Amino acid sequence: MKIAILTSGGDSAGMNAVVRSIVKAGILKGCEMWVVREGYEGLVQGNTEAATSVNDQVKSDDQQPVLQQEGVHPDKQLLHNLRFGDGELLKDGTTEFVGGRTLKGRYIVRVGWDDVRGWFSQGGTLIGTARSMTFKTIEGRTAAAFNLIKEGIDALVVCGGDGSLTGADVFRREWPDLVRSLKDQSRITDKQAEQHAHLKVVGLVGSIDNDMCLTDLTIGAPTALQRICEAIDNINSTAYSHSRAFVIEVMGRDCGWLALMAGVAGGADFIFIPERPPSAQPWEDEMCAEIGRHRKLNKRKTIVIVAEGAHDLDLNPIRAEYIKDVLTERLGLDTRVTTLGHTQRGGRPCALDRILPTLQGVEAVDALIESTTETPSYMIGLHENKVVRVPLMEAVAMTRSVATAVKEKNFDKALELRGAEFKE
Ligand code: ADP
């Protein structure tokens, strides 16, 4: 079997560990392994004719010695050629690679064991990620199918959020129609159409927000939480010294997991999350009463954590700057705002974001090997400390219904759905 892996949507720590694990597990099970650069956009772009002379490109661009080995696949050789320094490879992760060199015209690249060595400890995604509008069109997905068939690839692993996993499911369901249309246009032969009648798909959830249903943890969420905790620790000491209040904005547009867990781990006085707005209106009274009580108990510092998607019972956004004004005016607190922003995303994955992708990667390859036309596309999840397979679209649909419940102000339902995983 030929398996291709791509990372898509927002990057998260642990995506490289996913690629490494799947490449190695696939090779051990006798599969041929490929990576797709730049998410679905790379699938749509595919490999152009210029791709055959990539070694020439590297030679002319750069004076580094070019490794030339008999019998080494050109793509694999290219990756070797690009690796130098302290094992840094495909550094940028967007369009440029080490030293500003680009794998021009080549998005679907065959990889071997050594190409992913050490990737478990690298932040972000070394094969790049992107948001592709073209893949959302039928023309884009037809091009993507053609590019996969051209390379003889028959299985796809997607690591991304709910959007990326939806795209994977759409692609798999549509696959027979795409193959038929490519055959009708004589872009592929009858034999190719027969050999590629079915696309095997599996999804892994790379998301810092821990926002996917039917899994206890998403890849990247533990590292993001760790980053937030470190930031709160830093803020805590200065807040204590000056007896200040800090309002810390963390990521989480639809999901309050990061804010909630950071609040628990960092000793917050008040937390705002989208799924459970403050229970009283105006919420300012509730917050000030609580924080005022803490101050009366001689607490020298105040920490408020607000998820970026927080809002009140009427869905009006609750912004960090406004919370600061309330604390300053009503309680007389010297208040500052810290928006953690992209520092939450980046950096080295924590241990769990290396272990989880490694275990899930092995399961993903097994799921592909066992996949038939009858089996659904699986998402690899975690349930009560066990790696599990769940139907991909069930998880995506449930995740979407949390957002819908919030929009309908049905907060009890949103909370129930978040916690309802695996209930019969
Ligand atoms: P995330 O995976 O982090 O939720 P997005 O929602 O932006 O991020 O989705 C990432 C990419 O997945 C999109 O840019 C698009 O290429 C693809 N995608 C998302 N939804 C669909 C869809 N309904 N059909 C086809 N492709 C989709």
Residue 180 DSSP SS3: helix
Is the minimum distance from the CB of 170 to ligand 1 under 6 angstroms? Answer: yes
Task: Inform me whether the pLDDT recorded for 422 exceeds 80.
Answer: no
Strands 32-36 and 378-383: unpaired
Say how many Å lie between the CA of residue 372 and the centre of ligand 1.
25
Say how many Å lie between the CA of residue 327 and the centre of ligand 1.
39
Percent of the chain at pLDDT > 90 equals 76
Say how many Å lie between the CA of residue 22 and the centre of ligand 1.
22
- Rounded to whole angstroms, the Cα distance separating 40 from 405 reads 30
The dihedral formed by the CA atoms of 57, 60, 63 and 66, expressed in degrees to the nearest 10? 40
Q: Which of 72, 13, 4, 58 is nearest to 217 (CA)?
A: 13
Say how many Å lie between the CA of residue 166 and the centre of ligand 1.
7
Is the minimum distance from the CB of 8 to ligand 1 under 6 angstroms? Answer: yes
Phi, psi of 245 (to 5 degrees): -110, 140
pTM of the full structure:
0.87
Is the minimum distance from the CB of 40 to ligand 1 under 6 angstroms? Answer: yes
Q: Which position among 209, 211, 269, 353 bears the catalytic label?
A: 209
Are 413 and 406 within 8 A, CB to CB?
A: no
Is the minimum distance from the CB of 14 to ligand 1 under 6 angstroms? Answer: no
Say how many Å lie between the CA of residue 402 and the centre of ligand 1.
18
pLDDT digits (tens, 9 = 90+) for 122-153: 999 988 898 999 999 999 999 999 999 999 99
Task: Inform me whether the pLDDT recorded for 256 exceeds 60.
Answer: yes
Is the minimum distance from the CB of 254 to ligand 1 under 6 angstroms? Answer: no
Task: Inform me whether the pLDDT recorded for 206 exceeds 50.
Answer: yes
Q: In what order do the strands lie in the sheet with 386-391?
A: 108-110, 32-36, 2-7, 155-160, 200-205, 378-383, 386-391
Instruction: Look at ligand 1, atom 14, and give the residue with the nearest C-alpha.
Output: 131
Is the minimum distance from the CB of 131 to ligand 1 under 6 angstroms? Answer: yes
Q: How much is the ipTM here?
A: 0.99
Relative to the CA of 165, which ligand 1 atom is closest? Answer: 2
> Given ligand 1 and candidates 7, 11, 38, 135, which is best to mutate, with the most ligand atoms within 8 Å of its CB?
135
pLDDT digits (tens, 9 = 90+) for 273-317: 999 999 887 999 999 999 999 999 999 999 999 999 999 999 999
**Residue bearing the bigger pLDDT, 63 or 37:** 37
Q: Is 209 a catalytic residue?
A: yes
pLDDT of the residue at 186: 96
- Structure-block tokens of residue 161: 């959020």
Percent of the chain at pLDDT > 70 equals 85
pLDDT digits (tens, 9 = 90+) for 62-91: 433 333 344 445 555 555 444 432 233 333
The residues facing 2 across adjacent strands are 32
Say how many Å lie between the CA of residue 131 and the centre of ligand 1.
7
Is the minimum distance from the CB of 161 to ligand 1 under 6 angstroms? Answer: yes
Are 154 and 200 within 8 A, CB to CB?
A: yes
pLDDT digits (tens, 9 = 90+) for 332-342: 999 999 999 99
Phi, psi of 389 (to 5 degrees): -105, 130
- Rounded to whole angstroms, the Cα distance separating 271 from 306 reads 6
Is the minimum distance from the CB of 206 to ligand 1 under 6 angstroms? Answer: no
Count of C-beta atoms within a 10 Å radius of residue 27: 17
| Mean pLDDT computed over 112-119 | 85
